[in-house]
Every structure is written in structure tokens, then in C-alpha cells.
């Protein structure tokens, strides 16, 4: 059974359709990624799934239960790590965790034990008595993650968990998320970080303007939309037409983007050899999720 | 309409824990200010006021000071405090992702506001007792009225929070609502000094029944009209409590 099942979910804010008839199923134990530019509707979708925001239309089922009918029981199974820092600035680091544990009716001693364990897990054990304003940005993020684990959640919902983190902290977080997946914790991960999605997620949905444009494993998405390897050709001003003509005559799938032409779904190495005589500056490279992302959502700014 | 559950106590506990960490920095507002006002008005101003309703002015204003600071304690907590938690700290968002629903959060805010009222009333009573300004043993029931009054003003405040476009909106609330009703309530001077039309306004502002009840308990003098005052407070408290549940759900969740 799907852990989270979303059916034709829609959210309107006045004139704006933030989420537009999205249907998704997230399976037990998987890490499911939501990838999309700003304003794609990822956060709104997550807010609806966590009952912080009410859908305009559509249904959300968690382990077969209707979220509208059993919000408390369902929320008790969730661990939520928000995009923005909403820690209790007036409380200490430890109090932030024990206070949160109390919302889940975790008894005092147990709450303290779990809080210390969560602080250890994210290397914050030396900060338990500190005030929130004494923490660095990275420490706050880690504390938000620790807080999200306080109820031993069955489903972890993460909205940009590594935004603004230095590479070391990011690596630590990825490592912990992998460990949690190993323990069977289902994860829903919103991110703009392509590496993060590629490294952590079993399946990724690419969202744009409130809709899901594509849904597959990261590898599957790359193969389907750009091919495993692509060829990039640097375009000089006077070369554009001739390159376009040549590629067209070969019937290739290519895109002209900001001074570089990318050729998709091709045997990039062989094509590079064949084109060698034309004295173009070109190079084959492995395709990434980012290429898929740009193909599907475009290169223009979305706001 | 959805009702709060017992889980509101979790929000109350959260606010209590924050208060226990911060109380030293907010003490001037709820400890020293009412005491200074009581002594300054009572002894200084009272010297020129002479006798009101058969008693020295300072005896007259003890209930007024209690009722008005009970009001402001709950009001501050459930206007600026609640709005700050909701919009700036995003505390509500973090709590709503736990088994608490918005109704629990709002009820927790309101009962915490009423608790602040109770604390304020108790402090003023202790000071008044030290100065031997409390002639009647009935004064022991004042905390009960303080809690009711606190729930009423906390609930009215939360309804305003649900409507407020920004934190500056509360300037209007305090200037156009809280300040006038303080003067029209009979807290600091008797209502019969007003023209009749103003007396009608006075009789419906929500602070008036609280002042009357607390004054009766402090002085130990009762009349049947007090039951009406009590009923009025309970009615307004209940009404605004439920309106705040619906209005805050609309504001936060929709």
C-alpha cells in the first residue's frame, strides 16, 4: 500500500493555481523527491500533506486513512523538516526538542533521552544548553532535522533540508538520511539541488507551475528526456546557422541554449568523432538530472 | 466548527516555558507598572480626589487597576504575542505539523493569556494586601473573575489577530479599543460622572462588568445586578472564544 497517496490535489490562492490536480503515490521505504524551480508548488504541496494548509480540491490518503478525518493520527507518524527556520528562539536547544516531544505526548524522561540521542546524531551534543541565536546557520538546520526525528517518524518530510549548508554538513545530512532510509523510514524530499535528488531519491517528480511534468527514477528521467550522454557544442556567432543545419540534416534532437548547443539522445562519443573535421569546439559529457530539469522547465526565470 | 482538544495544554506549556525563561525582562510591564500606577494615582491623585462612594480614592481604584491590568495582560499576549508567533517566528507552522490542530494552538494561546491575567491580578492583590487596601475576604474570589475576564479579552484579541493584516494593526486595536474602554469602564472614576449617552456606551464595553464584579468582591458589597455582569462576561468570553476558533482556522489553514 502507498504510504502517501495524493489524488487530483489542487490549491488556489486567489488568482494563482499553486498546485494543479497533482496525483502521486509514495511507497513505503522509498525516498521520493520533488524537484522544481521556485514557485513550482512543492512547498504548497508539502503543506497540504502535513495538514498545515487545506486543499482547495482533491484527496490525501496516508496509509489508507483520509487526512481530513484523521489529521492528528496521521501527523503523529510524520517528521517534518521545514524550509524556514521556525525554531523556538526563546528556548534552549534542548528545550526546543523536549518541547517538540511533548506535542507528541512523549513522556519527560523519554523525551530527554531521545533529544540527547538526536543531538548526538547531528553532532550538536555540545550545544544542548545554548540559545538558538548562538547557533550557526548549519547548526540550526541540523537542529531542525533532529527535531523532525523526535517522534521516530514513519515518514520524514523534508523541505530543502540542506539549503545553505557547507559541503561537510550537507554530506553529514545525506549520510543520515541514507541511514534512515536503511531503517525503513519513508522520505518525501523537496529540493532544488539536483545532486541531492540524484544521490538520495529512488524516484523524482519534476514539478513546474503547479503540475508534475515527469516522474521516474533519476536514471530513468535522464534516459528518457536527454539520454545517458550528451554532446555540447560551443557556438560562435557566425557558426550558429551552419551548426543548426548540420544537426538538423542528421535528424538529431538538440537545443540551442545560451551559446551552447546540446545534442540529446545521441551516441555522443561517436558523434564527436564524426564531427571532428568541422573544427567546432565540442565535447561529450554524462547527462545529469539538471539537463532533464532544464529541458522540462526551461531556462527562463520563473517567478 | 471544530473544537479544541485537551492537547491545547501543550501550547499552554510551551508558552509557560518561554515565559519562565523571559519573565525577568517582561516583569516591568506586569509587576511594577500596575503597582506604580496604583500608588501614584491612589496616593498622589487621590489626595485631590477626596472621598468617592464613601471611601478614599485609593480604595476605589484598587479594583480598577486589577481589572484594567488583567485586560492588558491577556490582550498583549493574544495580540502582539500571538501575531508575532504566527507571522514572524512561524511557531504555529511548526506545531501544526504535530498532532496539535489549529484549534488546540488557539485555545492554548487564549488560556495562556488568561493565565497571564491571573498572575497579574495575584501580584496586584498581594501588593494591595501589604498596603492593607483589601477590606473584604470576598477578595479571594477575584482570581476567578480575573481568569474569566482574561479568557474574554484573550479571545477578543485572537479574533483581531485573525483579521490583522500586519503587526502595526494592533496600534489601532490599542488606541481605538483598549484605551477608550479603560476610561469608559469605571475603573478609575465613577461612571455616574458621565453624561447619560456615555453611560450607555460604558454599560456595554466589556471591561465594565469586570470592574463591577472585582469592585464588589474587593469591597464585599453585592447587588443583584452583578449576576448580569457575570453573565455578560461569560457570554462574551464564550462567543469570542468560538469565533476565534473559526476565524483563526480560516486565517492559518485556508
pLDDT of residue B33: 84
For A191-219, how does the pLDDT look when each residue is reduced to its tens digit (9 = 90+)?
989 899 999 999 999 999 999 999 999 99
**Weakest-pLDDT range from A285-299, B17-31, B35-49:** B35-49
- Can you tell me the distance from the alpha carbon of A159 to that of B126, in angstroms, rounded to the nearest whole number? 50
- Pick the residue with more confidence: B77 or B195? B77
pLDDT at A292 over 80: yes
- Can you tell me the distance from the alpha carbon of B1 to that of B248, in angstroms, rounded to the nearest whole number? 11
pLDDT at B235 over 90: yes
Chain-wide mean pLDDT for chain B?
92
From the list B7, B94, B101, the residue facing A86 with the nearest CB is: B94
The CA-atom distances, in angstroms, between A251 and each of A109, A233, A247, A260, B130 are 69, 16, 6, 18, 96
Question: Which of A11, A46, A52, A77 to mutate to test binding with chain B, by most B CBs within 10 Å of its CB?
Answer: A52
Average confidence (pLDDT) over A67-82: 95
Touching check for A100 and chain B: CB below 8 Å? yes
pLDDT bucket at A176, cuts 50 / 70 / 90 = very high
Could A102 and B101 be called an inter-chain contact, meaning their C-beta atoms sit closer than 8 Å?
no
- By C-alpha distance, the chain B residue nearest A95 is B17
pLDDT bucket at A303, cuts 50 / 70 / 90 = low
Question: Which of B94, B95, B100, B103 to mutate to test binding with chain A, by most A CBs within 10 Å of its CB?
Answer: B94
For A250-272, how does the pLDDT look when each residue is reduced to its tens digit (9 = 90+)?
888 888 877 888 889 888 788 87
For B58-79, how does the pLDDT look when each residue is reduced to its tens digit (9 = 90+)?
889 999 999 999 999 999 999 9
Domain ranges for chain A, please list them: 2-217, 229-286
Touching check for A143 and chain B: CB below 8 Å? no
- Can you tell me the distance from the alpha carbon of B10 to that of B166, in angstroms, rounded to the nearest whole number? 27
Helix (H, G, I), strand (E, B) or coil at B56: strand
Q: Å from B37 to nearest chain A CA?
A: 30
Chain-wide mean pLDDT for chain A?
91
Could B10 and A102 be called an inter-chain contact, meaning their C-beta atoms sit closer than 8 Å?
yes
Q: What is the full DSSP assignment across A75-144? A: HTTEEEE-SS----TTSBHHHHHHHHHHHTT--HHHHHHHHHHHHHHTT-GGGTT-BGGGS-HHHHHHHH
Q: A-chain residues within 8 Å CB-CB of B21?
A: 90-91
Provide the ipTM: 0.91
pLDDT of residue A191: 92
Chain A, chain B: beta-carbon pairs less than 8 Å apart: 72
Q: B-chain residues within 8 Å CB-CB of A54?
A: 253-254
Touching check for B10 and chain A: CB below 8 Å? yes
Average confidence (pLDDT) over B229-249: 97
Touching check for B98 and chain A: CB below 8 Å? yes
pLDDT of residue A34: 95
Q: Å from A168 to nearest chain B CA?
A: 26
For B66-118, how does the pLDDT look when each residue is reduced to its tens digit (9 = 90+)?
999 999 999 999 999 999 999 999 999 999 999 999 999 999 999 999 999 99
Touching check for B94 and chain A: CB below 8 Å? yes
For A140-174, how does the pLDDT look when each residue is reduced to its tens digit (9 = 90+)?
999 999 999 999 999 999 999 998 888 998 999 99
pLDDT at A107 over 90: yes
Could A88 and B96 be called an inter-chain contact, meaning their C-beta atoms sit closer than 8 Å?
no
CATH number belonging to domain A229-286 = 3.30.70
pLDDT at B2 over 70: yes
pLDDT of residue A79: 96
A169-177: long-range contacts, CB 8 A cutoff, minimum separation 24: A169/A138, A169/A141, A169/A142, A170/A196, A172/A122, A172/A123, A172/A142, A173/A141, A173/A142, A173/A145, A174/A199, A174/A200, A176/A121, A176/A122, A176/A145, A177/A31
Could B95 and A104 be called an inter-chain contact, meaning their C-beta atoms sit closer than 8 Å?
no
From the list A54, A84, A91, the residue facing B254 with the nearest CB is: A54
From the list A75, A99, A104, the residue facing B17 with the nearest CB is: A99
Please report, rounded to a whole number, the percentage of residues in chain B having pLDDT higher than 90. Answer: 72
Q: Compute φ and ψ for A18, nearest 5 degrees.
A: -75, -40
Q: A-chain residues within 8 Å CB-CB of B253?
A: 51-54
Touching check for B15 and chain A: CB below 8 Å? no
- By C-alpha distance, the chain A residue nearest B22 is A90
Fold designation for A2-217: Rossmann fold (3.40.50)
Q: B-chain residues within 8 Å CB-CB of A76?
A: 98-99
Helices (H), chain B: 8-27, 33-39, 46-49, 57-76, 82-83, 91-96, 102-130, 142-163, 169-173, 179-184, 196-204, 207-219, 225-252
- Pick the residue with more confidence: B29 or A63? A63
pLDDT of residue A146: 96
Question: Which of B18, B96, B98 to mutate to test binding with chain A, by most A CBs within 10 Å of its CB?
Answer: B98
Q: Å from A301 to nearest chain B CA?
A: 28
HEC string of A20-85 equals EEEEEEEECCCEEEEECCCCCCHHHHHHHHCCCCCCCEEEEEECCEECCCCHHHHHCCEEEECCCC
For A10-67, how does the pLDDT look when each residue is reduced to its tens digit (9 = 90+)?
999 988 999 999 999 999 999 999 999 888 999 999 999 999 899 999 999 999 999 9
Amino acid at each position: 500500500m502507498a504510504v502517501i497517496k495524493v489524488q487530483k490535489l489542487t490549491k488556489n490562492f486567489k488568482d494563482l493555481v499553486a498546485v494543479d490536480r497533482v496525483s502521486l503515490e509514495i511507497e513505503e521505504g522509498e525516498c521520493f523527491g520533488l524537484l522544481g524551480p521556485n514557485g513550482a508548488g512543492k512547498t504548497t504541496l508539502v503543506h497540504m500533506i502535513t495538514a498545515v494548509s487545506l486543499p482547495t480540491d482533491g484527496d490525501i490518503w496516508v496509509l489508507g486513512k483520509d487526512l481530513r478525518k484523521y489529521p492528528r493520527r496521521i501527523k503523529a507518524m510524520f517528521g517534518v523538516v521545514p524550509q524556514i527556520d521556525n525554531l523556538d528562539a526563546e528556548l534552549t536547544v534542548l528545550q526546543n526538542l523536549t518541547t517538540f516531544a511533548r506535542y507528541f505526548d512523549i513522556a519527560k524522561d523519554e523525551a530527554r533521552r531521545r533529544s540527547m540521542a538526536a543531538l548526538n546524531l547531528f553532532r550538536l551534543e555540545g550545544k544542548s544548553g545554548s540559545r538558538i541565536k548562538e547557533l550557526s546557520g548549519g547548526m540550526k538546520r541540523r537542529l531542525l532535522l533532529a527535531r523532525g526525528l523526535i517522534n521516530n517518524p514513519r515518514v520524514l518530510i523534508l523541505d530543502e533540508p540542506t539549503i545553505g549548508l557547507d559541503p561537510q554538513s550537507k554530506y553529514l545530512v545525506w549520510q543520515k538520511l541514507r541511514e534512515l532510509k536503511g531503517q525503513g523510514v519513508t522520505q518525501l524530499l523537496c529540493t532544488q539541488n539536483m545532486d541531492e535528488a540524484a544521490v538520495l531519491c529512488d524516484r523524482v517528480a519534476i514539478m513546474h507551475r503547479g503540475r508534475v511534468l515527469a516522474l521516474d527514477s533519476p536514471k530513468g528521467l535522464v534516459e528518457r528526456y536527454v539520454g545517458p550522454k550528451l554532446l555540447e557544442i560551443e557556438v560562435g556567432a557566425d557558426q550558429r546557422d551552419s551548426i543548426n543545419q548540420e544537426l538538423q540534416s542528421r535528424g538529431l534532437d538538440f537545443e540551442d541554449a545560451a551559446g551552447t548547443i546540446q545534442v540529446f539522445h545521441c551516441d555522443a562519443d561517436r558523434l564527436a568523432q564524426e564531427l571532428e573535421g568541422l573544427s567546432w569546439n565540442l565535447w561529450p559529457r554524462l547527462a545529469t538530472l539538471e539537463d532533464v530539469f532544464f529541458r522540462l522547465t526551461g531556462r527562463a526565470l520563473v517567478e | 466548527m471544530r473544537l479544541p482538544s485537551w492537547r491545547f495544554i501543550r501550547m499552554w506549556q510551551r508558552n509557560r516555558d518561554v515565559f519562565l525563561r523571559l519573565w525577568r525582562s517582561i516583569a516591568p510591564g506586569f509587576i511594577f507598572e500596575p503597582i506604580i500606577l496604583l500608588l501614584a494615582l491612589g496616593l498622589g491623585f487621590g489626595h485631590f480626589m477626596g472621598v468617592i462612594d464613601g471611601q478614599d480614592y485609593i480604595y476605589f481604584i484598587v479594583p480598577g487597576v486589577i481589572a484594567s491590568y488583567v485586560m492588558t495582560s491577556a490582550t498583549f499576549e493574544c495580540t502582539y504575542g500571538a501575531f508575532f508567533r504566527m507571522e514572524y517566528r512561524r511557531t504555529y507552522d511548526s506545531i501544526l505539523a504535530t498532532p496539535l490542530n489549529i484549534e488546540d494552538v488557539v485555545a492554548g494561546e487564549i488560556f495562556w493569556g488568561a493565565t497571564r491575567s491571573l498572575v497579574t491580578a495575584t501580584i496586584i492583590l498581594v501588593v494591595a494586601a501589604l498596603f492593607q487596601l483589601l477590606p473584604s475576604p470576598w477578595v479571594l474570589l477575584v482570581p476567578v473573575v480575573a481568569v474569566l475576564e482574561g479568557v474574554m479579552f484573550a479571545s477578543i484579541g485572537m479574533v483581531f489577530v485573525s483579521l490583522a493584516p500586519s503587526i502595526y494593526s494592533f496600534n489601532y486595536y490599542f488606541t481605538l479599543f483598549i484605551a477608550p474602554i479603560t476610561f469608559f469602564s469605571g475603573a478609575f472614576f465613577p461612571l455616574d460622572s458621565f453624561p447619560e449617552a456615555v453611560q450607555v456606551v460604558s454599560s456595554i464595553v466589556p471591561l465594565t462588568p469586570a470592574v463591577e464584579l472585582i469592585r464588589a468582591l474587593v469591597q464585599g458589597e453585592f447587588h443583584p445586578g452583578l449576576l448580569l455582569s457575570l453573565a455578560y462576561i461569560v457570554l462574551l468570553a464564550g462567543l469570542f472564544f468560538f469565533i476565534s476558533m473559526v476565524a483563526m482556522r480560516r486565517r492559518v489553514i485556508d
